[in-house]
Structure 1
Amino acid sequence: MSDKPFLAITMGDPSGVGSEVTVKTLLDKSIFTKCKPFVVGNVDAISSAIEIVGASNIVNSNKVTSLDQIRGEYGIIDVFDMNNLDFNSIQYGQLSSIAGKASVEWILKAGEMAASGEIQAIATAPINKEACSMAGYEDIGHMEIFQNQTNSSNVATMLMARNLRVVHLTTHKSLRNACDYVTKDNVLSKILLTDEYFKKWGWDSPRIGVAALNPHASDGGLLGDEEEKQILPAVNEAISIGIDVKGPVPADTVFNQNIDNKFDVCIAMYHDQGHIPIKVYDWARSVSVNLGLPFVRTSVDHGTAFDIAGKGLADHISMKESIEVAVSVVSDNKLP
């Protein structure tokens, strides 16, 4: 792209650390050489975060109501403020339906901009799922919100930390329900989606490792039958159409094999199976990337951290990495 892409940063729950990690990230001049970042959120929350991190002599917040008002210049944090939150009505670290409502409205606005092509990418700060539920929203995860907003049929969340990349069969499901979701059709769908996106990102034939669900990949059926009846048939069908995929590989092995470059990406069967290896490997730099949406969306890989909100203690590296990944995908059509 000849022009720097517009990148929206949704501020997340205003009672959490989203505004702080956003401000800390935008103190890095290099961000502005690669994109035109702006915040979809609350200008008073951003101004508060600027004070908290001690950056009042470096940056200022700038309230905008349209994209043509965005300067995209270092030293100015442009905030697309929808006037949907009185920042004085909430407190750092306190669960609030008011905050939950505002955070979802910011997500939907950013999604609207991205779906229309007005902006090129979205990087999201963390929301609080309980606060969103209190506000009456049933879709309490970013991916689910964007999926319903855009009517996207097949989506997936991929976490990445350096060379470890993990696509998830499911994310926000209870473990009991997640196990029921391990079917041949669902596993095959995620294999196909993963292969499609990695080819878009420059891999000629991405090497995909599919994790088993049960310990030891079920030990020949002694510890369950999902491997034989669901996962293996999906893998074999994918192989039959030319996809380089192996599995089911025991979950205590497949992620280390990815780190050792035997795979380019893994597919985990449920949330914690994929999140744990990523966060043990390099939590600070871990990033979430959505597959299957009609626009680029990345995210930090941490929560709202109510216990340290408003204290200036939050680590912003994941937000910086999220922006780097989003810009790389938009500008160069590849992962960094």
Structure 2
Amino acid sequence: MKPRIAVTLGDPAGVGPEIVARLCAHAPTLELAELIVVGQRRLLEAGARSCGLPAPAVEVVEVGQLLKITPGLPSPASGKLAGGFVEKALELVQAGEAAAMATAPISKEALQAAGYSDTGHTTLLARRTGTERPVMMLAGERLKVVLVTIHKAMRDVPGLLSVEGIVHTAQVTHDSLERYWGIAAPRLAVCGLNPHAGEHGLFGDEEERIIAPAVEELRAAGVDAVGPLPPDTVFWRATRGHFDTVVCMYHDQGLIPLKLLHFEDGVNVSLGLPIIRTSVDHGTAYDLAGTGQANPASMIAAVRMAAQMAMAGD
């Protein structure tokens, strides 16, 4: 049986309707998963027209009122629909009507303009599922990274790091790699924060005070974790197969190498939720909305990963 994947249209003023329309025409993905598009058929068909495609012959779960949406122009209306699509997809998964959800991009600004307090998909889903600390993974074929801190100012990162936070991030990652990727003994590389991983305190003491004790605690719990490792070499080692994922201390530490390798086909995965959720690893691309030029590779990769995780997690 092919897993049923609930696919949201994202912010309808962005490229979501177009990349989902292209997804619905991608035969290899349709062989792997059964798609349920969560949004509005009129928006999906408009996206298909922009791409020169026929109206997709997929199941569509209608959500929200027929609000005026202009491609390329985010608004409270587009944010309201985007949030509603995510909430409905979550309901489908929680009810067992879908095995997982894959989300097209939304705008944090439009979402909040619509009255949501959330800063994006992850916080919305965490709030709705009662999850205190979900873990963000960015994944591609050659590299997987997870983030201890996410959307935080650089000046705040050192003060936000803790032994508990690093251990939680790594433990959730370890358990997810075992369950969803079938890795019997995941190998985790833990990044240092400072150049050369602090050089024994020369360039900062976070490695000795926080990161090294976290690695020791993980190893005592049976997790194959190594670190703190210098950030300027650890990603090269991971791409050579030395590690299954890299635990990063802050957003750009992980996202820069990930997007260098997987700019078009990277996948954002929310670990630690009671459901499976994947997403594109790019934004709404308002400048491309309505042109039919948006690349669907990340959307396709997100659905394929959601299907593979669903089958592995059964």
TM-score by length of 2: 0.96
Query: 2:247: which partner in 1?
Result: 267
Deviation at 1:136, TM superposition (A): 2.0
Aligned position for 2:83: 104
Cα offset, 1:197, TM superposition? 1.2
Question: SS of the counterpart of 1:278?
Answer: helix
Inter-partner Cα distance in structure 2 for 1:253 and 1:315: 31
1:39 to partner: Cα distance = 1.1
| 1:50 matched residue in structure 2 | 48
Code of the aligned partner of 1:137? Y
Q: Please report the RMSD computed on the Cα atoms of aligned residues, expressed in angstroms.
A: 1.5
Confirm or deny: 8 A CA contact 2:13 2:74 kept in the other structure.
yes
Partner of 1:22: 20
The question of 1:276 aligning with 2:285 is answered: no
Q: Which residue of 2 aligns with 1:68?
A: none
What aligned pairs does 1:280-291 form with structure 2 within 5 A after superposition?
280-291=260-271
Does the CA contact (< 8 Å) of 2:64 and 2:81 recur in 1? no
| Residue matched to 1:243 | 223
How far does the alpha carbon of each residue in 1:40-94 deviate from its partner, in whole angstroms, 9 at most, with x for none? 11222111111111112xxx25xxxxxxxxxxxxxx03221123342xx221111
| Structure 2 counterpart of 1:185, from 150, 161, 164 | 164
**Aligned equivalents of 2:47, 2:302: Cα separation in 1:** 19
Aligned partner of 2:138 in structure 1 is: 159
Confirm or deny: 8 A CA contact 1:115 1:150 kept in the other structure: no
* Equivalent residue for 1:148, pick from 120, 127, 133: 127
Amino acid of the residue matched to residue 262 of structure 2? Answer: D
In 1, are the aligned partners of 2:63 and 2:81 still within 8 Å (CA)?
no
Task: Give the C-alpha shift of residue 319 in structure 1.
Answer: 0.6
Q: Percent of counterpart pairs with the same letter?
A: 38
Residue 306 to residue 258, structure 1, CA distance change in 2 (3 Å): same
Residue number in structure 2 paired with 1:32 = 30
What secondary structure sits across from 2:58 in the alignment? strand
Contact preservation (8 Å) 1:122, 1:296: yes
Query: What stretches of structure 2 of length at least 5 have no aligned partner?
Result: none
Q: Which residue in 2 is equivalent to 1:314? A: 294
Unaligned runs of 5+ in 1: 62-75
4+ residue segments displaced more than 6 Å: none
Q: Tell me if the contact between 2:191 and 2:248 (Cα under 8 Å) persists in the aligned partners.
A: yes
Which range is displaced more, 195-204 or 223-232?
195-204
**Matched residue SS, 1:298:** strand
Range moving further from structure 2, 325-334 or 164-173: 325-334
Alignment partner of 1:79 is 2:77: no
Residue by residue over 1:205-239, the C-alpha shift from the partner in whole angstroms, topping out at 9 and shown as x without a partner, is 11100111112211221222111111110001111
State whether residues 286 and 321 of structure 1, in contact with CA within 8 Å, keep that contact through their aligned partners in structure 2.
Answer: yes
TM-score, length basis structure 1:
0.90
For 1:259, give the aligned amino acid: T
Partner of 2:284 in structure 1? 304
Does the Cα contact within 8 Å between 1:164 and 1:259 map onto a contact in 2?
yes
